[in-house]
Structure 1
Amino acid sequence: MAGGGLSKARLARLHPVLAAHVARGDMPGMVALVARGDEVVVEAIGTQSFGGAPMRRDTIFRIASMTKLVTAAAVLLLVEECKLRLADPVEHFLPELANRTVLRTPESPLDDTVPARRSITVRDLLTFTFGLGAVMEWPPKYPIQKAVDELGVAPGPWQPNFSADEFMKRLGRLPLIHQPGERWLYHTGSDILGVLIARVSGQTLEAFFQERLFAPLGMRDTGFQVPAAKLERLATAYMIDPEKQALTFFDDAADSRWSRPPAFAAGGSGLVSTVDDFHSFLRMLLDKGRHGREQILARPTVELMMSDQLTDGQKQGAEIFFGMGASWGMGGAVITRRTDVSTTPGRFGWDGGYGTTAHVDPAERMIGILMTQRMMESPQPPAVFSDFWTSTYQAIDD
């Protein structure tokens, strides 16, 4: 295990590298956190919106798919209590997923199906191999892509604007794209897991998160809604207008969707957080489930969550997400091969499509978090992510 810290001289490179992206107008600002051992460094750069208030350490960001890490941890809490088992079919709690049919091929018409060979399990949902998710064909050309879009359950930047029960009802109308356990497909499994947590626990998803994770970890600014008293700390989110090729509002903090309770608390993408809150969550994982004197998750559970769960066959077709050096654990990606300065085998985490990235590296005893609100335009990381990770890892001092 690495035992050193961070070189002050080398870490000083981080600020100007990140500030250059703000100076170019790529985004109005960002907050970065780098931690190694007991050393924690935070950089707040730019403003919360173009022409707005200065960015601050406790600025609140929409973390999009970084939510998946929290959702997976919450499911594993229920697994530890034997309220769920990884191999159990989920249809007892999610009857909408019982008696599935499966498309003969992903390109098939919706009525060209065969029966599912087996039930969908908790493990299938955690590993994104249950049979539905993002089909990476653009522009959309398969009937199933059109169907999920028309039903409002397609993976994308917007959370569903209807209830969790309605979400499951609509999913239940669809055939699976692949047999359960056969292939990895992005995103949808986490939204279903959020519904599963609520139904198993008898609580709302936010209440369960708050009681079992956010309160014990001191994550005071993390949730599915920003209270009125905290709205001044919410950054504005931007996206590229494809016609003008210029930044435009995705979600203006002055009238944010996140200022109101969501119709659907999305386990795949709905949370807001801060760098310090998310550092607390990742530090718990780095410390093998422990936070202070409390064991939030057992060490073997954390090791399971952060271990490669996929076969080569299951990853087929997902190369745009994993390249040649990564795979999927439960809730996040696992680096499997050194392909860059920052890709330590065993590093675990994920990116958020609104412009955030967060990973924990057990081998280096290191955590990195970058939060912007410039929407990603591809599963491939934007330049600011790459520059952040390179600047972070080149600062290792041992």
Structure 2
Amino acid sequence: MTSPFACTDPAALGFDPERLDRIGPFLQQNYLDSDRLPMTQLVVARDGQPVYYDARGRMGEGRESLRDNAIFRIASMTKPVTSIAFMQLVEQCKVALEEPVTKVLPEFGKLKVYGGGGGGIPFAPGQPAPAMRFVDLITHMSGLTYGLQNRTNIDAIYREHNLDFARSRHSSDEFIRILADLPLEFAPGQGWNYSVATDVLGICVERISGMRLGDYFREHIFGPLGMTDTAFGVGPGQQQRLVDAYQYRPGEPPAMIDAGPASKLTGPGRFDSGGGGLCGTIADYHRFTSMLLGNGELDGARIISPKTLRLMRTNHLPGGADLTEMSRSLFSESNNAGTGFGLGFAMVIDPAKTLIPSSPGEFYWGGAYSTAFFVDPLEGITCVFMTQVYPSSTYPIRRQLRTLIYSALSDSRL
């Protein structure tokens, strides 16, 4: 199959070709030969022009070699898309970041902060929560949580209600009703906790726009960007392009947990999960990251204004704090030291503290199946990485890829 990318000579864009070529063998020797990962796919670009592409492994158990147009579960890499969609509505003055969420979700009018109980004991009556604002949702400072945090009694009740995986279990209205009856981990704005907040944000997009989230994405983001293979679930005729999904097992190869052609994702869902429901290709997500690098525009299609995007990729943690000072999460898609959080993205605020080669203002996120992307506006670099092993904290591959990519940069703009 023809490569989805016409790669430019890396040397012409400030990369050392020999150093870039170390990436593929590194992945082969450290991850594929040992069956730690079933497949890898990577594209690196500068100034929107791909300079390196590599695809290895198989579509899944007993299946053919990885297709260049393979479809992956991108999980939480959905969140930046949902955040862009919400900010499009902000640009139209249909909603404002500082407004209370109850403007769109009246069900959240009587939220309370956790006051005790759980684990088989009824929750104690908590104190009424201050009004949750839309900015609290988009920055993960809402007080909501994820069951997968596996840390508190509130996390446990999220697991009981299957709130992390709502696609096939709840309608969006049911999802909101359940959340409205559960206590918050903390008062909105008083901490950072990775959570279902972006699912809630996606429902806000639906209610404000009057469109189902997938339809909104298709009309206002995917269509203009030419992202033809990204959607909630997998459409007819695409089942054979969906890779198998795996789960990490200590001391053993990962276990296959969802076969691509037979996946539940090939059927309709009740709920478009703005926090983690998209499936898509590396070529599509490269177009999304190219739009982000291009200050909100790609090939003449303006998705978001440069000023709005700049607001999104600015650290919004109080007092310029990093996540080590604010995070209550055991799990997220970022490292905490030297890392801030904006409106839908993590970003590097102090490269020295991250202990990883990076640039100030670089922003990024990833997905639960170990997918990842980053955008470095100062160096003009974007990267998209695809694989399919849960959870994303299993291996240090994101750090390793950044190190390998930046070590191949021969012409730095800093």
* Residue pair 2:232, 2:279 contacting (<8 A) in 1 also: yes
Identity within the alignment, %? 33
Deviation digits for residues 7-37 of structure 1, max 9, x if unmatched?
1111111110112211111122111010012
Q: Which residue is equivalent to 1:167?
A: 175
Are 2:15 and 1:18 equivalent residues in the alignment? no
Equivalent position SS for 2:54:
strand
From the superposition, tell whether residues 59 and 137 of structure 1 become closer, same or farther in structure 2 (CA, over 3 Å): closer
Equivalent position SS for 1:265:
coil
Q: Which residue is equivalent to 1:249?
A: 256
* Residue pair 1:124, 1:130 contacting (<8 A) in 2 also: yes
Q: Offset at 1:145? A: 2.5
Q: How many angstroms apart in 2 are the aligned matches of 1:167 and 1:273?
A: 24
- 1:149-164 matched pairs, under 5 angstroms: 149-153=159-163, 155=164, 159=167, 161-164=169-172
Q: Which residue is equivalent to 1:121?
A: 133
Q: How many angstroms apart in 2 are the aligned matches of 1:396 and 1:159?
A: 41
Out of 293, 296, 299, the residue aligned to residue 289 of structure 1 is: 296
Q: How many angstroms apart in 2 are the aligned matches of 1:48 and 1:58?
A: 11
- 1:84-163 matched pairs, under 5 angstroms: 84-104=95-115, 110-116=123-129, 118-134=130-146, 138=150, 140=151, 142-153=152-163, 155=164, 159=167, 161-163=169-171
Q: Which residue is equivalent to 2:269?
A: 262
Are 2:338 and 1:333 equivalent residues in the alignment? no
Between stretches 336-345 and 160-169, larger displacement belongs to 336-345
Q: What TM-score, normalized to structure 1?
A: 0.91
Q: Offset at 1:203? A: 0.4
Letter in structure 2 aligned against 1:208: Y
- 1:1-398 matched pairs, under 5 angstroms: 4-20=13-29, 21-40=31-50, 41-104=52-115, 110-116=123-129, 118-134=130-146, 138=150, 140=151, 142-153=152-163, 155=164, 159=167, 161-241=169-249, 245-311=252-318, 312=321, 315-318=326-329, 321-338=334-351, 339-376=354-391, 378=393, 382-398=395-411
Unaligned runs of 5+ in 1: none
Between stretches 326-335 and 383-392, larger displacement belongs to 383-392
From the superposition, tell whether residues 4 and 194 of structure 1 become closer, same or farther in structure 2 (CA, over 3 Å): same
Q: Offset at 1:105? A: 6.6
Q: What TM-score, normalized to structure 2?
A: 0.88
Q: How many angstroms apart in 2 are the aligned matches of 1:294 and 1:114?
A: 47
From the superposition, tell whether residues 239 and 223 of structure 1 become closer, same or farther in structure 2 (CA, over 3 Å): same
Question: CA-atom RMSD, angstroms?
Answer: 2.2
Following TM superposition, the consecutive aligned residue runs of length 4 or more in structure 1 with deviations greater than 4 angstroms are 105-109, 135-138, 157-160, 318-321
Deviation digits for residues 172-192 of structure 1, max 9, x if unmatched?
111111111111111211010
Equivalent position SS for 1:359:
strand
What count of residue pairs does the alignment treat as equivalent? 388
Letter in structure 2 aligned against 1:315: M
Equivalent position SS for 1:102:
coil
* Residue pair 1:97, 1:172 contacting (<8 A) in 2 also: yes
From the superposition, tell whether residues 136 and 274 of structure 1 become closer, same or farther in structure 2 (CA, over 3 Å): closer
Q: Offset at 1:144? A: 1.8
Q: How many angstroms apart in 2 are the aligned matches of 1:392 and 1:51?
A: 32
Unaligned runs of 5+ in 2: 1-11
From the superposition, tell whether residues 105 and 183 of structure 1 become closer, same or farther in structure 2 (CA, over 3 Å): farther
Letter in structure 1 aligned against 2:101: V
